[in-house]
Structure 1
């Protein structure tokens, strides 16, 4: 009998090395379930690259400003081979221990906009889910109590190397309007009930016309003052 989706067998290798009097932690992780898998490399708790099974290649996830880094040819093929080994070991362990219980770590979540919210301006709503294990989630977006599937995207699953847990970003493209209510609901095996976070557009102030009006009036008065001063200066010169 194979493990269910909540069963995960992970192999984690941590290497500590010193360079220029700075201590860094380099880690490689291979994990699998009976239906999915993960292969990634990380540095100091941050992911450097992972195997993208759909794209069929190893994908670098370092930010653009980081030092360029590439893996040698054959890294992705090695990741595929590691997955086969992992699944074989998983099946063996499952049979030997008669499908043992899996450790659980409940997720935490937060919801926030990518940019400062302006009513009527397109934006991205982000739902960050972190600190969970095993790495299977079900996340649902709603707008005004109606499920939303359009404009939804998900980041690569990220490993919190030091904790042995996972994090993931869920994004929703939206155009805020007064009165709109958005929710992000997370379901996980370690939660007794679904966890929901809300974002209320009514709490976001609409852009104020006050500063613009004030600047416009000030500029107009300034120009009128310059014109008036110029008029009397010309008259004074004519009198002289």
Structure 2
């Protein structure tokens, strides 16, 4: 064993960690009604003593080495009324708060948002991949479809993905469509959700090519300059005094 004066000496204290806490829960059915009520004294994550609501008494629920201690503890808790009253108070709170919790969570309606993002592909027949991102909606059931010039089209080579949770009680999904757009085409992502009075419509149209965009910009500048010179010329002409006659 190293001595305290040695540089390699390391003192490691022997500390044991034990935790006893009270845990209560009330599982809910699909319609929000309370299915059951659980109340227990837990020792290091293991239920030690459990409360039986129908009998209004505590029983040992540990079947391991701690069962003798759990039996004694249950008898102590049943000897008075304080812990039974505490458990019943939580049971009433569970019954009273469950409807409000259910209405503010499972029954709420959050409308979705949508955005279309386009990207180039190497496919010569369908050069553009449209991705409709839909997010922020609740509940998870949502229907997403595509329109091409007002007509319903299929999802193409990429089927829609299922809705996945965002971690904040909302969901997201996306649907893709490979297209070969031409001038004048309009594509729309249609989102149907229980929170919407009417379907959400997000539209996309093909933009001009870079070369054509430059030509249009130059033509616009020339047209504005020509119109400016014309206005100035008319103003100067009308402002000249008449010739003596």
When the two structures are superposed, what TM-score results if normalisation uses the length of structure 1? 0.42
- The structure carrying a bigger strand percent of its residues is 1
> Is the radius of gyration larger for structure 1 or structure 2?
2
